[in-house]
Amino acid sequence: MQSRNQIKKFVSSRSLQFLYPLSVNWKAGITNLIQSIALSAAGSIAPTPITVYDALFSVWDGLKTVSDIDPSDVTYRWETQTTAVFTYVRLESQSDYYQWLSHISTKCITEVAYIVDVDSWRPNGTGEWIVYPDLEADTRYLYHTPTYYNSTTRALWAYNNVNGTYHDAISEITISGPESKKVQTIYPCYPLHCE
């Protein structure tokens, strides 16, 4: 059995606006800043969402899971890398000339960078409180790996049971922000469409 890997990347960005009073205050420990779901032949893959608190606690002094946060604009930038594994199978008594592509699987790693506009009230030194602009930024990684990614067992099963090549590949990833607003649906490199 032989395997061959191929890697492709997709990069883009988008800003979402959350306008008060149409948007309600966000609870830092409950509101998700980043959530995702990936679809594959084996079903959906949903990594643990990243709350506003998880995303900003290391850069925002005094933030607590129970903090109420005014909705703000969020800018996202992402890069998705797809790794595809092509697995070929043949009988032990046969030469490589007879190997058959029995299984194709992919996994995706998506790096999501975000900038959150969290303007804050601060004393200006003369006893007055004024709004100061404050942008907080960081990066998180989302991992989407189907159950049978790079599986020898699945390749052998496909060789014996499927008339053709079996796919365990990520067909799409949807990234959402606060209030379940869709940031983007990403269509990563799918093995039939990779160059």
DSSP 117-166: E--EEEE-SSS-EEEE--EEEEEEEEEE--TTTT-HHHHHHHHHH-SS-E
Average pLDDT over residues 34-46: 87
Question: In the numeric block, which tokens belong to residue 47?
Answer: 């990594």
pLDDT of residue 114: 87
The first and second tokens of residue 24, run together, are 């309600």
DSSP-derived 3-state class of residue 23: coil
Instruction: Give the pLDDT band (50/70/90) at residue 119.
Output: low
User: DSSP state, 13?
Assistant: E
User: Where does the pLDDT of residue 161 fall: very low under 50, low under 70, confident under 90, or very high at 90 and above?
Assistant: very high
Q: Which region among 23-32, 73-82, 95-104 has the lowest average model confidence (pLDDT)?
A: 23-32
Percent of the chain with pLDDT over 90: 22
* Structure tokens, 26: 């966000």
> 41 vs 62, 154, 175, 186, CA distance in Å?
44, 13, 19, 16
**Is pLDDT above 60 for 195?**
no
Contacts of 38 (CB under 8 A, 6+ apart): 44, 45, 46, 108, 144, 170, 172, 173, 174
Q: Provide the whole-model pTM.
A: 0.77
